[in-house]
Amino acid sequence: MSPRHLVSVFVSGFLGLGLLHCGGETKVECDPAKCAAGNQCIEQDGVTECRLTCDAQSGPTGCPYGYRCATGATATYCQALTYKTTEAPGQWGTPCNSLEGAEASACDKAQGFYCQFSDRNDPNAFCSLYGCQSDSECAGGYYCGDANVIPSAPRAKRTIGETERYCLPRTYCAPCEHDVDCGAADDGLKQLCARDANGKGFCTKPCSKDTNCADEAKCVDYDDTKVCYPIAQVCVGDGNFCSPCRSDADCTAGGGACVKSRYSTEKTCTVASKVKCENVGSQTKPPVFDCPATTPEGAAANSIVSCVGAIYKEVPADQCSGLVRFGRSEDDGYQVGCYARPR
């Protein structure tokens, strides 16, 4: 599959009142009385015109196909996507069969939609726009981000550093700037855009207790409400060992990969072992590897470090990964991760 050629297209808002320019000076201002019902004079990027208002990415107060709810200078409005498609089956969020690979039959490949999945047996695989360059090409509730190429249907062996761009759903910890950027959470709760310890915006949802949140998050006070907040304090870290990540593109500092647990949504960076990992899990002699001595400060109390590529298939060979106990008993096994709470 080759990346599609992207075409930048400017499309004005609904029933926009054209601004006449002469020598760079605006001759006609937007007149609210001439805006259609549901439209307001809204300024964006120095242009004020009639734009359809919205306060959600979908539903009765959302936007029609081909538009996303964006934040203007004075209100949120329906902004035309810069990559034009015609509404058809096999587009935004349509389930697809990961075993068929990126070119799964369910997706509208003629208009640039391919199957996006986290592994070759992903039950949550979905169709989305491939090869995007910016968020403005993505439908409401999606952003343009990096996704790992491998493992995939044709190649099961995990590689490091191979990523591609997709329009990805704004689920927990997806990047955002404003509340309206985030769609509804999986349980239907309206998400909001919070700020992590570095001031970066991320999508999250209200909560009343830790168990309302992902295993790698906790319920904390935020402004005038409670929200799910990453235990690591950030959704994407500095790329070193145990750093939270979204894809391999976030883990270059330590030559590692962004690995996801099979039993939670946590994603963390590995780092390369300085020597080839040998005898991992051997009963006859200790394993040989050269990894960080411990997981970082703030990691789960029961977290450990190991070179686990031979045991946990989601971790590439000769990579140092964090492990956290799956349950609360000392007899419970470990899963890939660094911050996830025990179940």
What is the DSSP secondary-structure string of 13-69?
Answer: -TT--PPPEETTEE-S---GGGSPTTEEEEEETTEEEEEEB-SSSSSTTS--TTEEE
Would you say how long the chain is, in residues? 343
Q: Where do the structural domains in the chain lie, given as residue ranges?
A: 21-80, 98-169, 181-230, 236-343
Residues whose CB is less than 8 angstroms from the CB of residue 309 and which lie 6 or more positions away in sequence, other chains included: 277, 280, 315, 316, 317, 318, 319
Q: Name the phi and psi angles at 338, rounded to 5.
A: -135, -30
One digit per residue, the tens of pLDDT, for the chain of length 343 reads 433 333 333 333 333 333 333 334 444 589 999 999 999 999 888 899 999 999 999 888 899 999 999 998 889 999 999 999 999 999 999 999 999 989 999 999 999 999 999 877 889 999 999 999 999 999 999 999 999 987 665 666 777 888 999 999 999 999 999 999 998 877 778 899 999 999 999 999 999 999 999 999 999 999 999 999 999 999 999 999 999 999 999 999 888 999 988 888 899 999 998 888 876 555 556 667 788 999 999 999 889 998 866 577 788 888 999 999 877 666 678 889 999 988 7
Residues in Cβ contact with 71 at an 8 Å cutoff, skipping those fewer than 6 apart: 177, 178, 180, 181
Cis status of the peptide bond prior to 154, with omega within 30 of 0? no
* Selection from 138, 134, 148 nearest residue 168 by Cα: 138
Residue 172 contacts residue 203 (beta carbons within 8 Å): yes
3-class DSSP assignment, residue 8: coil
Amino acid 107: pLDDT: 98
Distance CA 242, CA 249 (A): 14
